[in-house]
Each structure stands twice: as C-alpha cells, then as structure tokens.
Structure 1
Amino acid sequence: MTAPTQSSPGLRRELTLGGAIAIGLSSMIGAGLFSAFGPATAAAGSALLVGLLIAFVVAACNATSTAQLAAQYPTSGGSYVYGRERLGEWWGFMAGWGFVVGKSASAAAMALTVAAYAAPAAWLKPVALAALVVMVVLNLVGVTRTAQAARIIVALVLTGLAVVLVAAWLSTGPNAPTGFEAMFAGIGTRLSTASGWYGVLQSAGLLFFAFAGYARIATLGEEVRDPQRNIPRAIITTLLVVGAIYAVVALTLLAKLGAGGIAVSDAPLADAADAAGTAPWAAVLVRITAAIAALGALLAGIAGVTRTALAMARNHDLPPVLAAVHPKFGVPHIATIVLGVVVALLILVGDVREVIGFSSAGVLTYYFVANLAAFTQQSDNRRYPRWMQVLGMVLCALLVFTLPWQSLLGGIAMFGAGFLVRGIAELRRARNDASRGAHN
C-alpha cells in the first residue's frame, strides 16, 4: 500500500463523517448542475431522464466499488492506490495520471466558471485567478478548514437552489407546452432508433460527471476518522443526495422549458425561472448560486488532485518533492502550491472549458480501474456483488466510446504522453540500478 515514510509523514486523520460528506457534496453539486443539462438534452432530447438514470447507475456501480476499496485501503490516492495494489503499477498509474491531468484542467474550468457568473467579461481571468488563490489558501491551512468551507458553500448552494426551484413550481406563469406530456410521449420514439440510443448514452456520459465527485472522499482516505466505517457511508450518502437533487432539477426543467428549450439554453435554471414567470431576482440568484457551486467544486477538486499527486509522488510516479507534508497544517503543501501554479497557467492560456474533453476520458478510465480492482477483492473485503463491478466496467467503457471524437483523441494523447514519460523514467531507473550493481 502507498504509505507515508519517514521523509514523507502521514496526513492527519481529522476529517469527520460530516466533513467528508460536505466535501463530496461540494464536489458533485458544482457548476455542472447549472450548465450540463443543456448539452445533455441536446444529445438525448425528450429521453433526458433515461440518460440521467443511466448516469446514476454508472455512478452507483463506481461508488460502491470505490467504497469497498476505500474500506480496505484507507490512504490517500483513491483509484491510483487501488489499481496499484490489486492490478499492478501500470494500472495504478493509468488511473492516477488520468485523474491528476484531467482534474487539473477541470479546476481551471471551475475557476473560469466562477468568474463567468460573478464578473464582467473584461474581468474574467483576474477574478478566476483570485478565486483560485483563495481556494488554494484554504487547502493549505488544513483539511478541517477545507471541510468547514465546504459546509458553508454546500449550505449556500442548496439554499439558493431550493429557493429557485420552489419559485419555479409555485409561480403562476404557464408551463412550457412541451412539458411532461410531450416528454413521456416522445421517449419511446426517441429510443426506437440506434441514433436515439447513441444520443442517450452520450447524454449519460455528460451527466455522469455531475456524480463523479465522490472520488474526492476516497482520495482523502488518509485524513478521514474511522475510515473503514465513515468513507463508505460518506460516499453512498453523497451519491443518493445528489441523485435526488439532479432528478428534481431535471423534472423542473422539463416541466418549465421542455426538451427543446433546455437544449438551446446556456443557463437552463435561469431560463426555467423566467419561463415560469418568477421575479427577475430569480435569475440573479441562479447566477450567484452557480458561482458559489463552482467555487465549491474548485475547493474540493484541489483537495482531491493534491492527495492523488501525493500518493503518486510517494511511489516516484510524480516528482518525490510533491510527497512533502506540512508539519503544522498536515497537508501536501508543495503539491497544492504546484497545482495552483499549473491551474493559474491554464487560466492564463485561454478558456480551457472548450479544450478539456480529455478530462471525460480520464475520469471514466479512473473508474474503470476502480471497478476492475474491486472485482479482484476477496470475500473478506467484499461489500457488494461482483456483477455490479462488471456492469460498472462495461458502462464506463461504453460511455468513453460515445464521447465526441475530439474528446476521445484528447484522452488517447493524454495517456500516451503519460505512459511515454513513465516508461522513460523506468528505463533510466533500471539502468541506474544495473550500473550500481555492476560497480558493487
């Protein structure tokens, strides 16, 4: 197991069950809640709920596998550690590399999303950088502070979301003519062709990432109290809560906008509030809530990426300096600072929201490894039947190949670069070992 060494001390077990749930919720109730339904509905049409259901099933398989593995390996790194321990070093590297690179780009996208909702276009990058700095600092002062901030963010987001949804349902404005009746009538027609099912699967792939934040809980495994009990409980609780929230949001959007209205909207919740005849403040509240949600996703994303980087650095899959843990705050401070610099550069380079398609391939690969690793666990450590892990692997692989071709090529390039660099490093280490052996 990836473990702390004398030169790389362990992290502190200070995170309670409530804190773990808060970090998971802040990861999953991100800006995607306010924007993912548009492209997902464009792909699935009136069968949006079918895509959402498939995404939830994939997430449930992955979450149960992750929970089962986290109980046996309660250390930092998530699927990087699970793949390495149960399948081999290269499997672990594939999961860890996909997560670190993909989620670093996602962190930049979240920072830009905060700015897009909270500031004028001219201030986009300065505000994004300011948001990044604040979240990096919060991560540097300890995991308990991170959890406290996550609790506040989640409370604000859920409150704002609840107000908007209640206002939409209680308003006197007319429902969209393409509401529930047309939606249910159109599902069968939509699924009667191969292209219809392809669109639904692509929709599931887009919506799946709304559920993927429970991995953050597993990557913090070395900092959770009573991890064998609390990590599985936190993962499953978070998934069920978020699944219910997404179902309510999807039903609201379909009732107020219809599938056609959602598909052409950049801010479906704000448009649903307008269509329902609510006061102008509702759209303003949506923007504020979306900015706070993106901030929460950025906060939790930094925590997850740095813990995976810490685990990889301990095994020299990343530079060993990234394994340093701050003696006072008990966090991987160098990894956090380095990630902050990398994300800041990505923000300055351009609008990475348009070029992070490979992140999708990385996350699905990450969970494919998790399901495969869980499949190999013995009866003493099993909590869920093996068919769930098989279903998870099949669906992860299927969703990868339904991604747009640009995303698929980006993922192949990302993993190819990572394997090449690691292969060169392995050859150098082997030559150095052989050279030392010859001299001895």
Structure 2
Amino acid sequence: MSSADQTPLRRRLGTTDAVVIGLGSMIGAGVFVVFGPAAAAAGPGLLVALAVAAVVAYCNATSSARLAARYPQSGGTYVYGRERLGEFWGYLAGWSFVVGKMASCAAMALTVGLYVWPGHAHAVAVAAVAGLTTVNYRGIQKSAVLTRVIVAVVLAVLAGAVAAIALSGRTDLGRIALIGGTPAGILQAAGLLFFAFAGYARIATLGEEVRDPAHTIPRAIQLALAVTLAVYATLAVTLMAILGPNLSTSAAPLADAVRAAGAGWLEPVVRVGAAVAALGSLLSLILGVSRTGLAMARDGHLPSALAVVHPRFAVPHRAEVTVGVIVAVVAALADVRAAIGFSSFAVLVYYAIANASAWTLPGRDLVPVVGLAGCLVVAACLPLASVIAGAAVLAAGALIYTLARLR
C-alpha cells in the first residue's frame, strides 16, 4: 500500500460540530414518518416502545463512546471489533455498516423524492445523492456547516408544529396511553423507532476528524442522544394527544396532526421540513459510510484505491464517490420500505458487535450486556423478510471474507 493511502484526515470538528452531525442523522426523515408504523405495531404501548428503543440506543451510544475514546480513528465499530474481538468481527461490523447504511441512504433519498415530487421520486432521489456527494467531496467543514443549517430548519419546523397543535385546544391527554400492547408488537415498534435513533454512530465514525476525540466524542454522543430523545418523546405525546388511534394508520403523522389541529396552513411547511430532514440524514450517512469504507480499504478488505485521501480537501474522495454511485443506483431501483427493514437489521448487528467489543474493555459493567441483548432481540423481532434478507447478505459478506483469506 502506498504512503498516500495512509494520509491522515485533519482534525477540524469540535464538540458542537460533532453534536450537530449526530442530530442531523437522528432528527431526520424518520421523525416525520416513523410514529405511524410504530403505533400500528405497539398500539397503546408506543411510549413503552420508545423507552425500549431509548434504552438500547443509550447502551449502544455508551459502548460506542467508550470505544471511540480509546480508538479515535475513522471506521467506528469496524475498528473496535477488529481491535477487541479479532479481524473477522471487525470486518463483519464494517460490512454490516456499509451495506446497511447504503440501504438507509437510499431510503432517505427516496424520502426526499416522495415529499418533493412524488411522481418522480426515484429521479429526485438520484439527484439528491449526487448533490450531497458533491458537498461531501468539498470537505468535512462544508458538510458540518450545511448539516447545522439543516438541523436548525428541522427543529424550527418541529417546534412550530408542536406549538400549533398544543395551542389548538383540540388535544386530549386522555388519548395518551402509558401501558398496553403486546410484547412482540412493542419490540417491533422499538426496532422501527431505533432506526430513527441510530445516527449517533456517525460521530464515532468521524473519530479521525474530531479534535480531542477522547473528550469530544463521548460528550457529543451523549448530548446528541439526549436532545433526540427529548424531541421524540415530545412528538410522541403530541401526536397521541391530537390523533389518538388514528396515529396508527397515518402515513404522514405530523402533516395529519397539524391538519387535525386546524393549522392546515402549516402542512406545506411540514412537508418541506421532512424533505430537508431527509437531506440532513443523507448527508451524514454518506459521510459515515465513506469513512468506514476508508478504514476497510486501508486494511485491504476493500480495494486499496478507496483509501486515497484528497490532497486539497482532505477527504476520502474516492470512497465518497463510490458510495454515492452505489446509493444512486439503489435509490433508482429500490422500494423505501424494503430498504428501511434491511438497514435496521444490519445496523442492529453492527451495534451488537460494538457492545461485545465494549464488554472486553477494563471496568466491565452491565451496559454492553444490555445493549448486546437488546440489539439481538429487537433484530429478531423485525419483519421476517428483513431478517432473512439481512442474514443472507451478512452470510455473503462472511463468505467473501473467507475466500479472500484462503487466497
């Protein structure tokens, strides 16, 4: 491998930038669509499902933060699994992250298309991927600035919608259930909600570009997760209070909620906010996937050409372009629901390996154990088609690894 392949990335991101990138991943398009199917699965147990997802996310975030502080390199759990469990487990984590998050990228791009121009959703999705890949190519600071703008817009839209609903006089707190639903339904809903939580990993995968990573990464992950949980809990309570049982059949819960509150003038604003949120998620996802690809290419698990860092922009430009092309192809052909289900399974496997890696660190406690068990249980409760497809792709990755080792 040439010396250019090992060119280090520049540490340009502070705590605020890292938190914003995490928020851009978590408070994305999922917040505009996930509560409907989650309510359909959990029934009156929606808040319990949110709590389960939050506990699993907290364990995963804590394990990721501990590992990122010890190994402040690009690659996230790919690096942690390799260093703590062995090369195969690191490879499997990296494979899970790359294939799962590329599916998630396609889902976010399609969400943009469905909100902006439903009749041409696939074409809009491809254009969104191309545009954001170009932004990422120009450097990490430009990506952080754009993400900050997107997060501000999305939070403003959400705050305006919640305020309009709360002040409408049409909410009914009696519709908010604290218990109910079946265990299987609650766990399936937790899996759907976890999909929207999972963006904090983006902070860890940028470890090589964060200043003072041992301090910045754990703090940024915890802050981003806390803000996201507060936003999700507020939205869940608000939607249940205004829509009641109708929440479970809503394809666009927030748009339906402002209409039910008599604030239909806000609906176009909500739709624009959903498109902007999806763009924010897509931007951060492309960042994270390309950095994991960089780390795997450095170790020879992906073509070494992907490990080259641009001499001017200091980004893994070949990895970013490759990810962009693959995601654009998937977005042009895939169905958004299938992409989300597949992504959820792969990402839960990724975090299971992160928790197993954290368990090997000094000062063991129960957090990694709870996180590992939670990931495996929630993954098993996803729709059967998602479990089968995810397991098949992971098996294919393991086969590729084995054949490469034999050669």
Whether these two folds match at TM > 0.5 is yes
- Partner residue in 2 for 1:242: 228
CA contact (8 A) 1:164 1:285 kept: no
How far 1:314 sits from its partner (Å)? 0.8
Partners of 1:271 and 1:153 lie apart in 2 by 23
How far does residue 426 in structure 1 lie from its aligned partner after superposition? 1.0
Q: Which runs of 4+ in 1 moved over 3 A?
A: 3-7
CA contact (8 A) 1:346 1:352 kept: no
Does 1:312 pair with 2:304?
no
| CA distance in structure 2 between the partners assigned to 1:106 and 1:120 by the alignment | 19
- Mapped to 1, the partners of 2:325 and 2:337 lie a distance apart of 18
Pairing of 1:24-423 with structure 2 (within 5 A): 24-121=22-119, 123-172=120-169, 174-175=170-171, 179-184=172-177, 187-188=178-179, 190-191=180-181, 196-258=182-244, 260-278=245-263, 280-379=264-363, 386-423=365-402
Q: Report the TM-score when normalising by structure 2.
A: 0.97
User: Deviation at 1:374?
Assistant: 0.7
Amino acid of the residue matched to residue 261 of structure 1?
N
Deviations 1:220-258 (A, max 9, x none): 000001111101110000000000000000000000001
Q: CA RMSD in A?
A: 1.5
Equivalent residue for 1:435? none
Matched with 1:13 is 11
Listed one character per residue, the Cα deviations across residues 33-57 of structure 1 (whole Å, up to 9, x for unaligned) are: 0001111100100110000000000
Q: Could you say if the C-alpha distance between residues 252 and 296 of structure 1 is closer, same or farther in structure 2, counting changes exceeding 3 Å?
A: same
Query: Shift of the alpha carbon at 1:296?
Result: 0.1
Structure 1 Cα separation of the partners of residues 5 and 357 of structure 2: 29
Q: CA shift at 1:352, angstroms?
A: 4.1
CA apart distance, 1:120: 4.0
Q: CA deviation at 1:132?
A: 1.1
Unaligned runs of 5+ in 2: none
Shift of residue 358, structure 1, vs aligned partner = 2.0
Q: In 2, distance between residues paired with 1:19 and 1:71?
A: 17
The alpha-carbon deviation at position 181 of structure 1 amounts to 2.1
Partner-residue secondary structure (3-state), 2:6: coil
Rg larger in structure: 1
Amino acid at match of 1:198: A
Q: Distance in 1 between matches of 2:352 and 2:206?
A: 20
1:438 corresponding residue in structure 2: none
Q: SS at the partner of 2:72?
A: coil
Change (3 A) 1:32 1:74: same
Decide whether aligned partners of structure 1 residues 180 and 5 sit closer, same or farther in structure 2, where only a CA change above 3 A counts.
farther
Identity %: 53
Partners of 1:357 and 1:410 within 8 A in 2: no
Q: Structure 1 residue 270: deviation in Å?
A: 0.8
Q: Report the secondary structure of 1:209's partner residue.
A: helix
Kindly tell me: are residues 6 and 362 of structure 1, through their superposed partners in 2, closer, same or farther at Cα, counting changes over 3 Å?
A: same
1:180 CA drift (Å):
3.2
- Between the aligned partners of 2:109 and 2:86, the Cα distance in structure 1 is 35
Residue pair 2:338, 2:386 contacting (<8 A) in 1 also: no
Using a 3 Å threshold, how does the CA distance of structure 1 residues 60 and 350 change in structure 2: closer, same or farther? closer
User: What secondary structure sits across from 1:390 in the alignment?
Assistant: helix
Q: Which residue of 1 aligns with 2:403?
A: 424
CA displacement at 1:182 relative to structure 2: 4.3
Change (3 A) 1:150 1:182: closer
Consecutive unaligned residues of structure 1, counting only runs of 5 or more, are: 380-384, 429-440
In structure 2, relative to structure 1, the CA distance for the partners of 1:5 and 1:228 (3 Å cut) is farther
Counterpart residue type for residue 393 of structure 1: L
Is the CA contact (8 Å cut-off) linking 1:309 and 1:335 kept in structure 2?
yes
CA distance in 2, matches of 1:390, 1:324: 37
Q: Secondary structure at the match of 1:419?
A: helix
Greater shift in the superposed pair: 207-216 or 351-360: 351-360
Whether contact under 8 Å (2:68, 2:214) holds in the other structure is: yes
Question: Which one-letter code corresponds to 2:10 in the other structure?
Answer: R
Query: Number of residues paired by the alignment?
Result: 407
Matches of 1:141 and 1:19, distance apart in 2: 17
CA contact (8 A) 2:175 2:241 kept: no
Q: Which residue of 2 aligns with 1:382?
A: none
